[in-house]
Amino acid sequence: MAALNDDRKSASSKNFIINHMNADHQKSLAMYLRHYCNVAARDAKSARLEDISLSDLLISAKGTRYSVPLDPPMKTFADTRPRVVAMHQECLQRLGLSDIVIKEFRAPRGLEAANFAAVVATLIVFSRRSNFLPGSWLYETTGLDRFPAFAGFCYTVQPIPLTLLLGIHAIEAGLLAVKRLKRHEVPLLSAVWFAWIATILIEGAVAFKRFDRMVTEEEVKREHRK
């Protein structure tokens, strides 16, 4: 009778774990496949836990079943929660991901918007050397005709600030894509991804600060939910 009760408890525990993982921790299941079974991210998205034993997790994705070993094996199903949490954290570290997912783009506001406008103006002004020659719209309407020496200097150096600005911002865009967008699971080539990349190409490192503020806000929200 005791053995029968133990079997019923084990079956009940397994069913609860399977339903809970599939309902609330699908991201963890996908990461287990990616890290422990080398499944591509696009294929792992459909991950579902089909069965669990003391020694492995049986996870399916796109019609294929994968066994994720639990090493060392658990002693009872009561060990499941700390074990899967530890595996989740290991996967985040190895895959270079974060628990915080950013799903939106935030445009610059206030001082950041003023900085954005200033950079746009600089790019437009230095986009052509002819902007600094007499007869051009910029030369005639901005008062450059009163400072011919300064206009001549700008004409001479015109390619330099444009090249430096765009070059530095292109490097920063690459870093944002790898260090922030990928880490916080902004889908590659999505509308949100393009919005962040286009913005940093103009405003540079300011976009990093805004993105990091969003991450901090999400962390605070998560702590409050706990």
Tens of pLDDT, residues 23-51 = 989 999 999 999 999 999 889 989 999 99
Residue 184 has pLDDT above 70, yes or no: yes
For residues 139 and 57, state if they share a domain: no
Residue 1 is assigned to a structural domain of this protein: no
Residues 60, 127 share a domain: no
Q: Which domain holds residue 90?
A: 10-95
Does one domain contain both 67 and 148? no
Q: By three-state DSSP, how is residue 68 classified?
A: strand
The span from the CA of 189 to the CA of 28, in Å, is 23
DSSP label of 72: S
Q: Which residues pair with 210 in a beta bridge?
A: none
For residue range 70-129, what is the model confidence (pLDDT) as tens digits? Answer: 989 999 888 999 999 999 999 999 999 998 999 999 999 999 999 999 999 888 889 889
How many domains does the chain contain in total? 2
Instruction: Indicate the average pLDDT of the chain.
Output: 89
**What is the number of other CB atoms lying within 10 angstroms of the CB of residue 55?**
12
CA dihedral over 82, 84, 85, 90, signed as positive or negative = positive
pLDDT at res. 144: 83
Mean pLDDT of 216-222: 87
**Which residue in the block uniquely carries the two structure tokens 């079974």?**
37
25 within domain boundaries = yes
Q: Are residues 133 and 167 in the same domain?
A: yes
207 close to 199: Cβ distance less than 8 angstroms: yes
When pLDDT is averaged across residues 200-224 and rounded to a whole number, the result is: 90
pTM of the model: 0.76
Q: What is the pLDDT of residue 8?
A: 56
Same-domain status, 183 and 207: yes
Report pLDDT for 222. Answer: 79
Percent of the chain surpassing pLDDT 90: 60
Q: How confident is the model at residue 6 (pLDDT cuts 50, 70, 90)?
A: very low
Examine residue 103 and state whether it is found in any structural domain, yes or no. Answer: no
| Residue 5 is assigned to a structural domain of this protein | no
- Do 154 and 202 belong together in one domain? yes
